[in-house]
Each structure stands twice: as C-alpha cells, then as structure tokens.
C-alpha cells in the first residue's frame, strides 16, 4: 500500500523528531562538567551518525569515534561507480565535520572489548575507557562457506566490492579490462546479507555499461535465493525492458566452490571472465570476538529501546551487525535510524532519565535500474511494547509504481543528505 505524500512526509520526519522531542528541550546543551565518556567504534552509517547525534543532542558528553579508515566511502551509490556513471570521489567524504563539532576522531583499529573493565583495546596497544560503548562494525564475510574463496580474494583475482573503497575500484578495473564478448558473473549469497536490492542494482549498472561500451558482453546473475529479494517486479521489468539478451538471471544458483574463474554451483559449472562474489555475511569480527554474537551464530541481539546488546548491557550495537526486527532491512538508512534511537537513549541514561518508550524508525532504499532511472522501497517500523521489537506500521511504505527519472534525483539527494546527516557536512 502507498501513503499519501503528506502522510509519508510526516512519517519520514518522525524518526529523528521523536528523539529530539524526547530530550525535553535540553538537546545541545554544552558547558559544565562532562556527564560521561562514550566511545563509538566504526565510522560508517551507524557509528558516524551516533557520534554526531550524541554530541549534537548531548552537548557535554565526551564522544570519541574510532574508525580504521581515514575517510568514509559509501556503499550506497558505489554500484554507479562500477557502471562508470560516478567516480570514487563522488562517494568519499571526510570526518572533518564531526571533528569541528567536538567529536574526537581517532583513526585506528579496535582489537578487543573489555566489557567488565569498560574499555576498548586498540591495535598498537593503547586502551580507551568508556562509560558507554557504541559499536557499529558492519558485516564481515563467511569465506569458509565457499571453497577456494579466501585464496581467490587474497590473490586479488576475485573482488567482492561489498565494502566500498579499494574493492570497488578493483572490480571496476576488472570490468573495464574485460574484452567485449566476455561474461561478468555476479554471485549472490542466501539472505540475510547487507542491502537486499544491492546485487540486482549492481547487475543493472554493469549491464548499462556493457550496453554502451561492450555490447557483445553478458551479465549472469547467480542467485543462491529462489527469487529476487527486493523490488522484484521492478527489477524483473528492468531486466526485460533494458537488458534482454544481455542479462540472464538464474535463481537457486548457490556458489559452492571456485576453481580459477569457474564458479562451481550445485549442479552446474559456470565460467566467467569477471567473477564478482558477494560472500555470505555475519556481524563484524569485533562483536564476534567480544562474545556479543548470540543469534544464529551470526548476529547480535539487541534491546530495541536502547540498542544495547542482550549479551552485554552498556554496549550499544547498531546497523548491519544486529539481528533485525521483522522486515527490517540491513541498510544504511536503517543503521542511521538505529543510531538516533541509541544516541537519544544513551543521553537519557547518562542523565538518569527514562528512555523514550515508543521509538519509530523508517527506511528508504533507492536502486538505479539504468543510469537515468531509479526505484525505491520504503517502510516504517514502530516499537511494540508487548513483543519488545519494532514492527512495520500497517499501510505504511511501499515501492515505486515504475522506474522513473525523478527518483534517480531523489536517490542522489538521499545519499548527499544522509552523508551530511551522519558526518555533519
Ligand atoms: C553495493 C551496496 C549498495 C548499497 N546501497 C544502499 C542504499 O542505496 N541505501 C541504503 O540504505 N543502504 C545501502 N547499502 C547498505 C549499507 O551500506 C549498509 O547497510 C550500511 O553501511 C550499514 O551501516 P553500518 O554502520 O552497520 O556498517 P558500515 O557502514 O559498514 O560501517 C562500519 C564501519 O566500522 C569500521 N570498523 C569495523 N570494525 C572496526 C574495528 N574493529 N575498528 C575500527 N573500525 C572498524 C569499518 O571500517 C566501517 O567504516 C548498500 C550496500 C552495498 C554493499
């Protein structure tokens, strides 16, 4: 079902509004002694947003963000780089905005969490004490599930490009170097993985490049799932309308093993000139080694009112690493919303106040199907006090009626606005 434009606008604003309102007009107070030290690990969609909102709403809280990379490189819009429609600079942003507002930004790797001692350990030996810890480490890969994958990734022969940065560039170079008439195969793991529509957008973006630059080439989508996992009818239409004869979609095609550039599936072998493997995923290594993974041996269970780990109170886990509520996607938009729930709750807990009992979050995810046209899916999730989880609001959300040009402008604006929101740009 689709909401009227007015209802949608009201709901889209709600995620942030609930939290600011619930801080009782004290948001942004500075001066006076610090009311606590919060360390945030991971400067992606969840962590950077949490650092910004802790400082903006909390004022006199010491906020330190630890991120291994010097810059933020966005996965959203990275498929356009693979298609040659955007450059790496278009998806790369710095942390100066956060520094300017008083967040201490430390480039480094957190190697361990000492939950009892309330401190994190850094590569190089340093330690950082905290009163509350926020961890948004994203995903890491279950490489052992595909024979030969680790060696193929180590040699640089196979790129996943499911974390944006050098991997995106490496895959773009492989696509550019491929001779016309070659085969680009994309292996999609079984759900859950980060960004359900992302692989199908990637297939469209690579095919859009081939159409212009290498028209005899082929895109082969090897999906371990029985069907397209998001915006199904819209992607099916795009495959048929724009890439017929060039793009082939194969469901139930789980990758078992790699032998050179041959993908070994259960009943078939597929040879590709460029093989892009999106590996099966689980919560980032840091939360696993810290003992926070407690759902299906893959994800972190959280208490949704505060985003605290159910394994370790006082440690707030955000984004892709969490075991989601019903129909809650692993997306940058959702990680950004988790961060606002956590930031508001942490400030209230540090002040000795009650946390908001009824948070509301929402998700919007755009996908490009051609260089010109995009589609969206959106959903709204309200906390349910009885079942203690977020549930989708009946009648909210929906998908585009059809791919169109105006949504590609909205998609780029969404990305710019979200990067500005999380990084204080
Ligand atoms: C191709 C693609 C397209 C996508 N498109 C969209 C889209 O259009 N819209 C959308 O909403 N979402 C999209 N996503 C999904 C989105 O990128 C993720 O859901 C989002 O990044 C999750 O945020 P996060 O904070 O959980 O993790 P991340 O954003 O990955 O952030 C994790 C950060 O933690 C850092 N880190 C991890 N461990 C440590 C450590 N031990 N020490 C220090 N730093 C550490 C990492 O370097 C990283 O910067 C897409 C994903 C992909 C792959």
Task: For residue range 231-255, list pLDDT tens digits in order.
Answer: 999 999 999 999 999 999 999 999 9
* Distance of alpha carbon 232 from alpha carbon 314, whole angstroms: 40
Q: Quick one: pLDDT at residue 23? A: 59
Model pTM score: 0.95
- The residue ranges of DSSP E strands in 177-246, in sequence order, are 183-188, 218-223
Q: Quick one: pLDDT at residue 151? A: 97
Q: Quick one: pLDDT at residue 21? A: 41
The DSSP bridge partners found for residue 184 are 219, 274
CA of 417 to the centre of ligand 1 (A): 16
Give the atom of ligand 1 at the shortest distance from the alpha carbon of 74: 17
Antiparallel, parallel or unpaired: β 374-384 and 389-392: antiparallel
In a mutational test of the pocket of ligand 1, which residue from 105, 120, 195 has the highest number of ligand atoms less than 8 Å from its CB? 195
Antiparallel, parallel or unpaired: β 72-73 and 92-93: antiparallel
Q: Quick one: pLDDT at residue 267? A: 86
CA of 139 to the centre of ligand 1 (A): 7
CB-based contacts of 353, cutoff 8 Å, min separation 6: 24
With contact defined as beta carbons under 8 Å apart, do 390 and 383 qualify?
yes
CA of 73 to the centre of ligand 1 (A): 9
With contact defined as beta carbons under 8 Å apart, do 263 and 256 qualify?
no
Question: Is 79 near ligand 1, meaning CB less than 6 Å away?
Answer: yes
Q: Quick one: pLDDT at residue 260? A: 85
Question: Is 58 near ligand 1, meaning CB less than 6 Å away?
Answer: no
* CA-nearest residue, atom 23 of ligand 1: 45
Tens of pLDDT along 403-418? 999 999 999 999 999 9
Please provide residue 120's backbone torsions phi and psi, each rounded to the nearest 5 degrees. -110, 150
With contact defined as beta carbons under 8 Å apart, do 308 and 343 qualify?
no
CA of 424 to the centre of ligand 1 (A): 17
Q: Find out whether the peptide bond into 192 is cis, omega within 30 degrees of 0.
A: yes
* CA-nearest residue, atom 41 of ligand 1: 110
CA of 248 to the centre of ligand 1 (A): 28
Q: Quick one: pLDDT at residue 30? A: 56
- Residue-level pLDDT, tens digit, the chain, 425 residues: 333 433 443 443 444 434 444 454 444 555 678 999 999 999 999 999 999 999 999 989 999 999 999 999 999 999 999 999 999 999 999 999 999 999 999 999 999 999 999 999 999 999 999 999 999 999 999 999 999 999 999 999 999 999 999 999 999 999 999 999 999 999 999 999 999 999 999 999 999 999 999 999 999 999 999 999 999 999 999 999 999 999 999 999 999 999 988 999 988 999 999 999 999 999 999 999 999 999 999 999 999 999 999 999 999 999 999 999 999 999 999 999 999 999 999 999 999 999 999 999 999 999 999 999 999 999 999 999 999 999 999 999 999 999 999 999 999 999 999 999 999 99
Helix-, strand-, coil-residue percentages of the chain, each rounded to 5: 35, 25, 40
């Amino acid at each position: 079902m689709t909401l009227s434009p007015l209802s949608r606008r009201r709901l889209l604003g709600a995620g942030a509004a609930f939290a600011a309102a619930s801080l009782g007009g004290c948001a942004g107070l500075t001066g006076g002694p610090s009311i606590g030290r919060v360390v945030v690990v991971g400067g992606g969609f969840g962590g950077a947003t949490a650092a910004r909102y802790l400082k903006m709403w909390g004022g006199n809280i010491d906020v330190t963000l630890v991120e291994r990379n010097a810059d933020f490189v966005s996965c959203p819009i990275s498929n356009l780089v693979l298609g040659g429609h955007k450059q790496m600079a278009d998806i790369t942003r710095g942390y100066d905005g956060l520094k300017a507002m008083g967040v201490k930004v430390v480039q480094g790797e957190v190697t361990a969490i000492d939950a009892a001692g309330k401190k994190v350990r850094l590569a190089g030996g340093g330690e950082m004490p905290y009163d509350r810890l926020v961890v948004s480490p994203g995903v890491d890969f279950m490489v052992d599930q595909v024979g030969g994958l680790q060696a193929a990734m180590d040699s640089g022969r196979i790129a996943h490009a499911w974390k944006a940065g050098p991997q995106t560039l490496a895959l773009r170079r492989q696509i550019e170097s491929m001779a016309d008439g070659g085969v680009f195969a994309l292996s999609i793991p079984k759900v859950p993985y980060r960004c359900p529509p992302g692989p199908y957008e990637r297939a469209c973006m690579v095919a859009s490049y081939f159409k212009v630059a290498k028209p005899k080439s082929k895109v082969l989508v090897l999906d371990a799932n029985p069907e397209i996992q998001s915006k199904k009818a819209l992607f099916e239409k795009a495959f048929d309308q724009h890439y017929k004869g060039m793009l082939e979609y194969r469901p139930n095609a789980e990758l078992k093993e790699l032998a050179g550039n041959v993908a070994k599936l259960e009943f078939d072998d597929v040879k590709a000139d460029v093989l892009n493997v999106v590996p099966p995923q689980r919560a980032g290594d840091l939360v696993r080694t810290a003992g926070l993974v407690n759902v299906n041996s893959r994800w972190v269970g959280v208490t949704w009112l505060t985003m605290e780990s159910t394994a370790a109170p006082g440690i707030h886990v955000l984004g892709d690493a969490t075991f989601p509520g019903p129909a809650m996607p692993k997306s940058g938009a959702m990680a950004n919303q988790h961060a606002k729930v956590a930031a508001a709750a942490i400030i209230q807990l540090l002040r000795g106040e009650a946390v908001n009992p009824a948070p509301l979050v929402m998700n919007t995810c755009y996908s490009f199907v051609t260089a010109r046209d995009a589609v969206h899916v959106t959903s709204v999730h309200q906390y349910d006090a009885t079942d203690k989880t977020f549930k989708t609001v009946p009648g909210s959300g929906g998908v585009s009626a059809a791919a169109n040009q105006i949504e590609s402008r909205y998609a780029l604006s969404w990305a710019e606005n979200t990067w500005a929101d999380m990084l204080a740009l």
